[in-house]
Structure 1
Amino acid sequence: MTSTVPESVTITVSRTFDAAAADLFRLWTDPAKFAGWFGSVPERTTVDAKVGGDWNAVMIYEGNEMVFGGRFQEIDEPSRLVLTFGDDPSSEGSPLTVELAEAAGKTTLTVTQVGPLPEDQIEPATEGWNHFLEAMESQV
């Protein structure tokens, strides 16, 4: 069975953390913290958190090496990051927006990924982002 690829799909996931926005922001900009929730090999995770800076992470999953990466496009510390996200080094990846809204000592983190994605990969991608947000819980 082949899956059609819509021109653009939007995946949005959110979670409220008992943490400051600045602490959650660092999970995205500090390579060691990023590797901690992303599940990547720490010594093969790089994060150059500046506009135009690249990020790269290598994950080992079921014995297979998976390479992810992208580029930071916008940084508004501690409330917003815009970067690209992809698993194909030959493409620019999909736009990814991370928004952090802090109120009353809690922060809601919302991740929005936009781009082409085969229909049969929408649910696994959404589950993947929820898994990442769950992993962030143990990092703050």
Structure 2
Amino acid sequence: MTIENDKELAAPGVVRIGRTLDAPPARVWRAFTDPDELAGWFWPPSFKTSAALDLRPGGQYRIAASTPEMAVSGEYLEVEPPRECAFAWRWDGDDHTSVVRIELLGDGDLTELRLAHEQLPADAVDAHHQGWSDCLDRLPGHLA
């Protein structure tokens, strides 16, 4: 199940995406918070992704690709395992910082993932919506 951004109802500068995943919340949490796991699904394999995470409020993270050369980094703002985290998001070479919030709901073998990317410039909303959609489309295969 996919909940796509409803542009008529969404606040300006916000992307909201949801997924129902066939894995318990602790497993989905690990996919987002273990550097090796995150690097394994976040971008396509051809990107040769690496990730470094210091998972605590105030801790830094960096997700980088070598082909094409690009990276995003920031600071963890909230960390509540295995249910919620929020982090600042800044692309290398960009002066703008936005905020990503991830919430994992559910018990048992299913997780409802809710992602909100807030404080985006209006001209970046569509690209980030597409990027997060592509990214989250790879997650079920990784979890399987």
Check whether TM > 0.5: yes
Over the matched positions of the two proteins, sequence identity in percent amounts to 23
State yes or no: 1:127 paired with 2:134.
no
In the TM superposition, what are the counterparts of 1:49-60 in structure 2 within 5 Å?
A: 49-60=55-66
8 Å CA contact 1:101, 1:108 repeated in 2: yes
Give the count of matched residue pairs.
Answer: 130
Q: 1:4-52 CA distances to partner (integer Å, 9 max, x unpaired)?
A: xxxx50100010001010111111111001111212635x420111111
- What value does the CA root-mean-square deviation take over the aligned residues? 2.1
2:121 matched residue in structure 1 = 117
TM-score for both structures, normalised by structure 1: 0.82
8 Å CA contact 2:70, 2:92 repeated in 1: no
Equivalent of residue 83 in structure 1, options 77, 83, 87: 87
- Name stretches of at least 5 consecutive residues in structure 1 with no aligned partner: 1-7
Q: Secondary structure at the match of 1:86?
A: strand
8 Å CA contact 2:25, 2:107 repeated in 1: no
Deviation at 1:138, TM superposition (A): 1.5
Q: Secondary structure at the match of 1:45?
A: strand
| Counterparts of 2:52 and 2:135, CA distance in 1 | 17
CA, structure 1 residues 130+90, in 2 after alignment: closer, same or farther (shift >3 Å)?
closer
| Counterparts of 1:78 and 1:89, CA distance in 2 | 32
2:54 matched residue in structure 1 = 48
Higher RCO by CA contacts (8 Å cutoff, separation 6 or greater):
1
CA, structure 1 residues 50+92, in 2 after alignment: closer, same or farther (shift >3 Å)?
farther
TM-score for both structures, normalised by structure 2: 0.80
Q: 1:71-110 CA distances to partner (integer Å, 9 max, x unpaired)?
A: 1111111110011112036647211100000145210111
8 Å CA contact 2:24, 2:108 repeated in 1: no
| Counterparts of 1:49 and 1:31, CA distance in 2 | 10
